């Protein structure tokens, strides 16, 4: 096994931060080039008029998943050393709902809002101010919700482990799901384009 590089001490924590910074900048540029710095494009997925976000995110997920899976099969990546966020099911579900509502109302998620701020968009600046205020409120009220925050702890768990299925089979199912999502997105876009008379850009 040769990777994850950091876990095999190919570089130290300081270098890892520099690498993370460079990757973050590159990711932000990719988001902007893909149109993800515009609230109109991001929110259009909720109206099924432009499903670019779903397509790009599913492409990224499947690409990363297939890459990690085949690199592990070849013996290059040790998947047991890849960091996984511990799962607290209920608070994560509530957090996802709150974040989703914020996305719908504000037109951005945290990452895309920072991309839009970097290009000088005023609505994104307002969104980021609201996000910072929300972080402050969460920090202040955390002692009161700490027990809920740590509830339904499932540890670090994966779908193959939870359902007792081979990794390869789960990878196959996710690829099928992505293909289905792409097909549904294309169908939805065409239906909405026919209904509204507007061409998808």
**Cα 198 to Cα 201: distance, rounded to the nearest angstrom:** 9
Report the pLDDT value the prediction gives residue 137, as an integer from 0 to 100.
94
* CA-to-CA separations, 53 to 16, 27, 42, 109, 179, in angstroms, rounded: 29, 15, 7, 11, 15
- Write out the H or E segment, with its range, that includes residue 191: helix 167-196
Region 144-169 average pLDDT: 93
Share of the chain above pLDDT 70, in %: 97
Could you tell me if residue 139 is inside a domain? no
Pairing verdict, β 153-155 and 87-88: antiparallel
Could you tell me if residue 192 is inside a domain? yes
- Token couple for 67: 């890459």
Could you tell me if residue 179 is inside a domain? yes
Report the pLDDT value the prediction gives residue 117, as an integer from 0 to 100.
94
Region 145-164 average pLDDT: 92
Report the pLDDT value the prediction gives residue 188, as an integer from 0 to 100.
87
Share of the chain above pLDDT 90, in %: 60
Q: Which domain holds residue 196?
A: 48-83+168-201
Report the pLDDT value the prediction gives residue 49, as an integer from 0 to 100.
87
**Cα 79 to Cα 77: distance, rounded to the nearest angstrom:** 6
Whether 39 contacts 183, CB under 8 Å: no
Could you tell me if residue 77 is inside a domain? yes
Could you tell me if residue 95 is inside a domain? no
Report the pLDDT value the prediction gives residue 115, as an integer from 0 to 100.
92
pLDDT higher than 90, residue 151: yes
Report the pLDDT value the prediction gives residue 12, as an integer from 0 to 100.
86
Number of domains in the chain: 1
Could you tell me if residue 189 is inside a domain? yes
Report the pLDDT value the prediction gives residue 198, as an integer from 0 to 100.
62
Could you tell me if residue 7 is inside a domain? no
Q: For residue range 124-146, list pLDDT tens digits in order.
A: 999 999 999 999 999 999 999 99
Report the pLDDT value the prediction gives residue 146, as an integer from 0 to 100.
95
Q: For residue range 36-47, list pLDDT tens digits in order.
A: 989 988 888 888
Could you tell me if residue 123 is inside a domain? no
């Amino acid at each position: 096994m040769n990777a994850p590089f950091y876990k095999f001490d190919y570089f130290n924590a300081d270098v890892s931060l520099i690498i993370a910074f460079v990757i973050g900048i590159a990711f932000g540029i990719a988001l902007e080039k893909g149109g993800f710095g515009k609230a109109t494009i991001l929110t259009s997925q909720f109206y099924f008029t432009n499903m670019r976000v779903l397509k790009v995110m599913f492409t990224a997920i499947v690409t990363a998943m297939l890459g990690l899976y085949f690199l592990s099969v070849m013996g290059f990546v040790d998947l047991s050393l890849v960091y996984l966020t511990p799962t607290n099911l209920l608070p994560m579900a509530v957090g996802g709902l709150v974040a989703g509502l914020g996305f719908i109302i504000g037109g951005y998620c945290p990452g895309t809002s920072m991309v839009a701020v970097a290009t000088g968009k005023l609505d994104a600046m307002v969104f980021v101010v609201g996000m910072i205020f929300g972080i402050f409120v969460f920090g202040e009220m955390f002692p009161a919700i700490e027990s809920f925050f740590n509830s339904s702890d499932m540890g670090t768990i994966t779908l193959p482990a939870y359902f007792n299925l081979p990794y390869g089979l789960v990878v196959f199912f996710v690829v099928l799901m992505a293909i289905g999502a792409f097909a549904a997105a294309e169908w939805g876009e065409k239906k909405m384009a026919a209904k509204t008379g507007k061409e998808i850009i």
